[in-house]
Chains A and B, each alone.
Chain A
Amino acid sequence: MKTSNGVVAAPNPLDFLNLDALLSPDERLVRDTVRSFVNDRIKPNIGTWFDEGRFPRELIPEIADLGLFGMHLEGYGCAGASAVAYGLACLELEAGDSGIRSFVSVQGSLAMYAIYAFGSEEQKNEWLPRMASGKAVGCFGLTEWDFGSDPAGMRTTARRSGGDYVLNGGKAWITNGGIADVAVVWARTDPEDGHRSGAVRGFLVPRGTKGFRTNDIERKISLRASVTSELVFEDVRLPADAVLPNVSGLRGPLACLSEARYGIVWGSLGAARTCYETALEYAKTRIQFDKPIGAFQLTQEKLVNMMLELQKGQLVALHLGRMKDDGKITPQHVSFGKLNSVREALAICREARTILGASGITLEYPIIRHMNNLESVLTYEGTSEIHTLILGEALTGIAAYK
């Protein structure tokens, strides 16, 4: 930025490359709005929520008022924002906490997106406006206890019985499961379904349907301000119109995952940014050997490396966002971003942890909370290993999963 006397201003440690200038005024306004919401409503209390292992349900209406649920979808009460705006919102939310961002991702990119992309007009009208306004919470059930990275092996079945479907089996590690009003459940149908034999189909299972129950997963040390649950289906009878009519096969859930993964490309960098900023401030004020620890070369190198990766990651995220808005992104591009962002974000948080010394391990500072949260983010939505294999296949043309 040029000042009035023509001198180029020194780089800002919090936005070294002035990436801000790459955003449109609207995009900056979205970012600033979500950032002030997170500063006002999340940061002051998140340590306590994490400590208590509680997701702050009371925030749902406020997040809905901001218009963040399904914000990148069009119509049905959704804002129709760009992919970049959606990414910026994810980043700011996750600068608060990965659990809060996860809630918004699952609601918008997994549950609402599934209905939006593959649902009937009736299903969209029934659920999307209620979900956009936060009056209904959604979850997305793909993973099972025995099938994580390899969902094609799933054992949950939807058998035809007269005009109905009967669901049996269970899903594991489902974000929002215990608080969801509607579960999008992926299950294997039987051959006489009329579609390809044994195809995976998506079903909308409302809370309270007979035979459907949930058990929350306790004793987590990561994503504690987020509900993670098991879904159990015992002879759950669903009417024929519970099926998502417009998709068949794993293509359906994978398309939803690609949406949510895109949000993580940005989101995880938010956690990293908070850790970097905290470490930078700490390094300038913490005195040891009569000097701020930021005066030691070793500390400076850590800060510089953190800043480099954070800025590079944000450039990649923005580039992918522009590609997505141009309709030119592929799942492999998203894998590039998810793998890089989460891996580097985790490394940044761990480095920040060392700079804070003992203070880094308490909930008084955000570091260890973000660090632990990112362990989940590294695993869900495709583990780092799986994304490596996706990219490996894209490079060599050889699939190495099996």
Chain B
Amino acid sequence: MKIVVTVKLVPDTNADKRIDPASKRLVRTGVETVLNPFDEYAIEAALQLKDKAGEGTTVTVVTMAPESGKEVVRKALAMGCDDAVLLSDDGLAGSDVWGTAYALAAAIKKSGFDLVVCGTQSTDAITGELPGALAEFLGVPGLTYVRKVELNGTTLAAERETDNGYLKVSCPLPALISVTKSIGEARYPSLKGIMGAKKKTIAPLTLADLALDAPVGSVGAKTEVLALAQPPAREKGKVVHVADGAEGARAIVDFLKEKKLI
């Protein structure tokens, strides 16, 4: 059984983010790069499945990122993943969701897979669209927002989170899932894991290795960022002055009803 985890390398979530007004792209220089925090849950999910399945199951990390991302990929290996593929090429710069998914799919097909595990979203571009697009390019069922997953032979059973509950679903392998926080806290890399990660392979991959039919990178982008704007400042909270608790409770209920929250 071969599990592939897709991880994105993102600017440190605590750092202030800046967008270059000319290119309309995120400024990534001078900011520390980290594993997309949501992808730590994807790694955890994959490793849980590996822990359960035991011998013969491997977890491969696949990322599309600059060469300098190697150091960050090591963290995923230190957590317990077996090896990694680093897809890096100047020609990939400026890829949108379509191009990213298209190139990643080619890389994943090349390494082979039974199951692909993604995070739900990145912390930089945050489209949350990549897993769906990737499943499409791979031609396999895609179950997003999974909070619980089990493998029984060649069938995958999962619980998908929805706005008001969850759905129990299943599909045959090969398949793709994206997992939420509810999968469980991501494990810390262990000392032995960190020491062992040095010996694991991070296989480099370039566009030449993939021989794609369609252009990717900024030339192949299907979307164009037209304008950027600051999100509107948060509205001031509403203060209600009431005589007693009962009246206060009523005011809150009315407010929530008005917002259609209850």
What is the CB-to-nearest-CB distance from A10 to chain B, in angstroms, rounded to a whole number? 11
Do residues A66 and B188 form an inter-chain contact, with CB atoms below 8 A? yes
Do residues A33 and B195 form an inter-chain contact, with CB atoms below 8 A? no
Do residues B30 and A30 form an inter-chain contact, with CB atoms below 8 A? no
Do residues B30 and A29 form an inter-chain contact, with CB atoms below 8 A? no
Chain B window 161-196, contacts with chain A (Cβ cutoff 8 Å), 1 for yes, 0 for no: 000000000000000000000000001111111110
A3 to B74, CA, bound (A): 24
11 contacts between A and B (CB under 8 A): A9-B30, A26-B194, A26-B198, A29-B74, A29-B75, A33-B194, A36-B188, A65-B188, A67-B193, A79-B191, A81-B194
What is the CB-to-nearest-CB distance from A39 to chain B, in angstroms, rounded to a whole number? 11
List of A residues within 8 angstroms of B197 by Cβ:
26
Which positions in B face A, CB cutoff 8 Å?
27, 29-30, 71, 74-75, 78, 187-195, 197-198
What is the CB-to-nearest-CB distance from A28 to chain B, in angstroms, rounded to a whole number? 8
Number of interface residues of A (CB under 8 A): 21
A43 to B195, CA, bound (A): 26
A-B contact count (CB 8 A): 49
What is the CB-to-nearest-CB distance from A85 to chain B, in angstroms, rounded to a whole number? 8
Do residues B190 and A30 form an inter-chain contact, with CB atoms below 8 A? no
What is the CB-to-nearest-CB distance from A67 to chain B, in angstroms, rounded to a whole number? 3
Where chain B touches its partner, the secondary structure class is: helix
Most chain A CB atoms below 10 A, which of B27, B30, B191, B197: B191
- A37 contacts the other chain (CB 8 A): yes
Do residues A79 and B30 form an inter-chain contact, with CB atoms below 8 A? no
List of B residues within 8 angstroms of A89 by Cβ:
191
Do residues A30 and B194 form an inter-chain contact, with CB atoms below 8 A? yes
- A163 contacts the other chain (CB 8 A): no
List of A residues within 8 angstroms of B30 by Cβ:
1, 3-4, 9
A250 to B27, CA, bound (A): 60
What is the CB-to-nearest-CB distance from A71 to chain B, in angstroms, rounded to a whole number? 5
Do residues A79 and B188 form an inter-chain contact, with CB atoms below 8 A? no
A30 to B189, CA, bound (A): 8
A55 to B87, CA, bound (A): 47
- Out of A1, A3, A66, which one reaches B191, CB within 8 Å? A66
Do residues A68 and B71 form an inter-chain contact, with CB atoms below 8 A? no
